[in-house]
Amino acid sequence: MNATAYPEVDRDLMIDDLSYQDARDYVLKFLTSEKKTIKALQEKEQELQKWNERLAFAERSGNPAQTQQVKDHLHRLIQERDTLKAEKDALQRKTTILKEKLQAKPKDADVASSVRAERLLADFEQLVDVDEYKLNEAMKDQEAEDELAKLKAKLSYQ
């Protein structure tokens, strides 16, 4: 049989056999990881902006060795940013699925625990307003693509 005929199971999404509390804790860890990755991506974007400015300065200074060093560093930063973007996208997909699975999971008989879990999940849903977040990310992606196009244009003139 062809191995590609069956999609590979993503073990990160397998929470069906966990208790509600364990599944909730697991989902919270993914949400936390997603938040950290988003913050790291934002910091990487800021660093890219700073190094684009350094490239412009290096090009004006007329020092080819310095300009090449800055370009090399920029290429590494772009790769790191792209890796973070891919990681963020994967985490967002997984957390969306995990949250849906958690909401469908029967809650424990303990009402107080159940209410706490629902409040916590509602708090996280407010923090991650999907529609607004996607719009902001699309705008950031467009800005990043514009900056990359500018950088490529600069590099092609060299």
Tokens 């936390």 found at: 32
CA–CA separation, 117 and 100 (whole Å): 14
Q: Can you give the pLDDT at residue 110?
A: 45
Q: Can you give the pLDDT at residue 15?
A: 82
Query: Does pLDDT of 31 surpass 80?
Result: yes
Q: Can you give the pLDDT at residue 95?
A: 92
What DSSP character marks residue 29? H
What separation, in Å, do the N-terminal and C-terminal C-alpha atoms of the chain show? 52
Question: Residue 15 has which token pair?
Answer: 């929470």
pLDDT higher at 43 or 106: 43
Domain boundaries, the chain: 17-157
Q: Can you give the pLDDT at residue 1?
A: 46
Q: For residue range 117-154, what is the model confidence (pLDDT) as tens digits?
A: 777 777 666 665 656 666 677 788 888 788 888 877 77
Cα 144 to its chain centre, rounded Å, is: 14
Q: For residue range 40-54, what is the model confidence (pLDDT) as tens digits?
A: 999 999 999 999 999
